[in-house]
Amino acid sequence: MNFTIRQLLELAELLRAAARVEVMPRFRRLGDGAVRFKAGPLDIVTDADEAAEAMITAGLHRRFPGCVVVGEEATAREPGLLGEIADAELAFVVDPVDGTANYAAGLPLFGTMAAAIMRGEVVASVIHDPVGDDTALALRGEGAWMQTPDGARVALRVASPVPLAQMTGAASWRYLAEPMRSCVAGNLARVAASWDYRCGAHEYRLIAAGQCHFLLFNRLMPWDHAPGWLLHREAGGFSAQFDGTPYRPTVAKGGLICTPDEASWRELRTALLPEPAR
């Protein structure tokens, strides 16, 4: 079974519809009780997350009968869903509102994204910007591109490699354990600039479009990273976990660094994490 371009575009339209129907009408209109904490102060959920995920899940089951759908909010209720990704003939990981903290704060920096995974391999991804109404797409072996509402496409390509002191990028160190947390935060002064948008959707779109040189993450829930990982890879980038092993959507620990090429990855890894990852 292959995932086709037609199926990818149908997935993109489903995410776009959910964003239009369930996400944007609630933006900056969340009432009392519409924002709730899950595991802690860095982990929140809104009515928009739950409604959009329900709409996307129902649409996927209609279009792809028998598929496994692993949504962020469903997994919060049923953690066992994560274990179904590895062996499923076709699974989808879904993040209905990536950047929920921004969304809840009224900041227009969030995304709706999903990836198709076949027998443990990421084969297609969609990262939709509900505010700009454009969509980044990738199909394994077929490249990555940005698509506007009128259907126009622009190919995505990572930036050319530059020396460490000229690198810019996003580093999400808030989930790192000590002493790695302090090590990374201190060593970021060695690059030209770094930031954290609290939104992997936009950070992955940025690096795939060649607008920065690196991303660094620690917590690797598949709905947060499978879509962006494939987008970056199909745009020509290189990525690996902190220990150099390839990214897998079935692994949620071990960190991830994305760069334009392997040489840049090694230089950045050495600069930010000089001690072996633990």
In the chain, where are the structural domains located?
5-155, 164-272
User: Tokens standing for 230?
Assistant: 């494939």
Between 3.40.50.2300, 3.30.540.10, 3.40.50.1480, 3.30.420.40, what CATH number should domain 5-155 receive?
Answer: 3.30.540.10
pLDDT score of 37: 82
* Residue position matching structure tokens 């391999």: 121
Interval 92-108: pLDDT, tens: 999 999 999 999 999 99
Residue of 105 and 275 predicted with greater confidence: 105
Q: What is the pLDDT of residue 181?
A: 94
Is residue 277 over pLDDT 60?
no
- For residue 33, give both structure tokens: 């009780």
- d(C-alpha 107, C-alpha 143), whole Å: 30
pLDDT band at 125 (very low <50, low <70, confident <90, very high): very high
Tokens 């991804």: give the residue: 125
121: CB partners within 8 A, 6+ apart: 140
Which tokens go with 254?
Answer: 């071990």
CB 214 within 8 A of CB 257: yes
- Alpha carbon distance 155, 142 (integer Å): 11
- Topology match between the domains 5-155 and 164-272: no
pTM of the model: 0.95
pLDDT at 278: 46
Percent of the residues in the chain that have a pLDDT greater than 90, as a whole number: 88
126 DSSP β-pair partners: 114, 137
Write out the H or E segment, with its range, that includes residue 13: helix 5-18
In tens, the pLDDT along 212-224 reads: 999 999 999 999 9
User: What is the band of 147 on the pLDDT scale with cuts at 50, 70, 90?
Assistant: very high
* CATH fold group of domain 164-272: D-Maltodextrin-Binding Protein; domain 2 (3.40.190)
Residue 233 reports pLDDT greater than 70? yes
Split at pLDDT 50, 70, 90, the class of 40 is: low
Please tell me the distance from the alpha carbon of residue 13 to that of residue 75, in angstroms, as a whole number.
23
CA angle (265, 267, 270) in 5-degree steps: 105
